[in-house]
Amino acid sequence: MSSLAVVFDVDNTLTPPREPMRAEMVEALRRIRVPFHLAAGSDLDLVVEQVVRPLECAGVQCSFDAFVCNGAERYRCQIRDGAEITSVSCFRLRDHLGERTFNELLRALEAVLAEPEFRLDRSGVPVMGERIIDRRSMINVAPMGRPARMTPEAYAQRQAFVSFDSKSGYRLRLLERLRRVIEPYRESHGLRVTLGGQTSFDIVVEGYDKRFPLRTLLSEGHRPIVYVGDALFAEGNDRAVLEFISEWEGPGTCPVEAIAVRDWTDTLAQMQSRGWLRDKGER
């Protein structure tokens, strides 16, 4: 029997960028009356920090699947008396490319970040942490680095980069350069690159992106599916959802709808207006 499922992007859709869910969103997920799942650009550790832990600490009891690393790794999250997370399926980019090609790609990405046009040492933005992160099913490229912990210094660095990027168009220029670099791998292995969040880039295999949770949930009988995300624009990592809809080859109209939101407060408004939330006190 078919049933509606809602799939939420995480960063800037359920949470402020790189921060845990606010109390208002935690309460909304306590009251949500429809099954929901996550499709996050980030890895499981960040999803736990941003979503799972706030729900657990607030005593919310729920179960959902988290499709992380841009959708290609699936985990089942059950929150009752504590949180239990189990791996359901995973995809490995290193295996897909092969060791030699994978390492060749890493060297090519490092060379791009070392090019004078894309070095940040004269921009006033400090570089902290890893810049090329192997997230198993994808590669995340973070020109300013990815700090191990979001300390006050790391938040200040992030804001400095966001400000620099908005004034200089840095990421859009770097995106075009990265597209040229991965073009041979696009043709041979289906790679694509998109903007990731506010500061980075995601390199994924087409189909093992945010199409994957849609394809998976449809195959399991969930329909319609409503996808909610803030990056459905042309360069965003939610764009694959719109491509999935436009390229639908199944019977009838595609059973997936996409909702673009500005931020997590807009998501709250959508949840309320669509009747997805129980009234307070309703069971």
Q: Which structure tokens are listed for 13?
A: 């859709």
Separation between Cα atoms, residue 127 and residue 89, nearest integer Å: 34
How many CB atoms lie under 10 A from the CB of residue 150? 15
Note the pTM of the prediction, 2 decimals.
Answer: 0.87
Separation between Cα atoms, residue 126 and residue 157, nearest integer Å: 7
> In the chain, which residues fall in CATH 3.30.1240.20?
93-204
Separation between Cα atoms, residue 112 and residue 213, nearest integer Å: 31
Contact 126, 115 (CB under 8 A): no
Query: What topology is assigned to 93-204 in CATH?
Result: 3.30.1240
Distances (CA, A) of 205 to 77, 111, 126, 211: 25, 21, 30, 11
Contact 97, 189 (CB under 8 A): yes
Tell me the chain's radius of gyration from C-alpha atoms: 19
CATH number listed for the domain at residues 3-91+208-273: 3.40.50.1000
Q: What are residue 263's phi and psi, to 5 degrees?
A: -165, -175
> In the chain, which residues fall in CATH 3.40.50.1000?
3-91+208-273
Separation between Cα atoms, residue 103 and residue 94, nearest integer Å: 9
Beta bridge mates, 73: 68
Q: Convert the pLDDT of each residue in 92-134 to its tens digit.
A: 999 999 999 999 999 999 999 999 999 998 788 889 999 999 9
Check residue 28 and give its pLDDT: 98
Would the pLDDT of 260 be above 90?
yes
Contact 233, 202 (CB under 8 A): no
Check residue 2 and give its pLDDT: 58
Residue 1 binned pLDDT confidence (cut-offs 50, 70, 90): very low
